Each structure stands twice: as C-alpha cells, then as structure tokens.
Copies of this chain bind each other. A is one copy, B any other.
Amino acid sequence: MNIDNLKSQMRKGMLEFCVLLLLRHGDAYASEIITKMKEAHLIVMEGTLYPLLTRLKNDGLLAYRWQESPAGPPRKYYSITQLGTQFLEQLQNSWDEINRTVDHLRSKSAIVTPPDINLQ
C-alpha cells in the first residue's frame, strides 16, 4: 500500500464524473480531453480514457461523431446525451453526499465515544 495506489483507487468512478463534467457544454475528442484534464491538474492515461469513453458510449451517456482533422487522422468527437445529462445530475448528488460524509468525519474530531465498561 502506498499513497499512489490509494490515489489511484480514489480516482475510480471519479474519472467518469470528470469526463461528463467536461463534456457538459462542448464536444471533445480523447486527446483533447486529456489535455483539458491536465489543465485541471488531473493526469489521465490513454489506456484509462479510451475504455472509459467506450463504456460511457455503450451505456448511452455519450455519443460520438467522426470529424476530419486539419492534420493527422480523423477525430472521434464525443458529446453528452440527454441520458448522460440526467446521469450527471445524479453523480453530482452522489459526489456531494460523499463529501458531506467525509466532512462529517473530519469535523467530528473531538467526539470520542467512551469504551465499553469492561465487566470482566
């Protein structure tokens, strides 16, 4: 167990959330998403993102269209669907809920329940 592994675990599920957030108001293709994530200080690997996009597409949360590139191979532009938007709202609720839980545990520093009286 190291901090990197745990950070990696913490990202599970959270990356879907971030991709949907990013696509909320504009289409993007994979390499572009990686760049934009980097701007938000979130490093995403290709081997992580491509399967993720395929999953979201297969579940109807994203759609895509091919578009020629001014240079290089054609690009797969992903856009969020109506279902994806609905899903995103639920995700925001889940995220806020988890944060409330963590905040609760974090603030509860002084409250310590007494140990059971040992009756032997």
Distance in angstroms from A36 CB to nearest chain B CB is 8
CB proximity to B under 8 Å, residues A80-104: 87, 90-92, 94-95, 97-102, 104
A residues bordering B, Cβ < 8 Å?
A: 1, 3, 6-14, 16-18, 21-22, 24-27, 32, 36, 40-42, 55-56, 58-59, 61, 67-70, 87, 90-92, 94-95, 97-102, 104-106, 108-110, 112-113, 115-120
User: Can you name 20 A-B pairs with beta carbons within 8 Å?
Assistant: A1-B55, A1-B58, A3-B87, A3-B94, A6-B91, A6-B94, A7-B94, A10-B14, A10-B98, A12-B12, A14-B98, A22-B105, A25-B109, A25-B112, A41-B100, A41-B104, A42-B101, A67-B118, A70-B116, A70-B119
A99 and B99: CB pair below 8 A?
yes
B118 and A68: CB pair below 8 A?
yes
Distance in angstroms from A44 CB to nearest chain B CB is 11
Majority secondary structure of chain A interface residues (helix, strand, loop or mixed): helix
Distance in angstroms from A37 CB to nearest chain B CB is 8
- CB-based nearest B residue for A75: B116
Q: B1, B90, B101, B115: which contacts A3 (Cβ < 8 A)?
A: B90
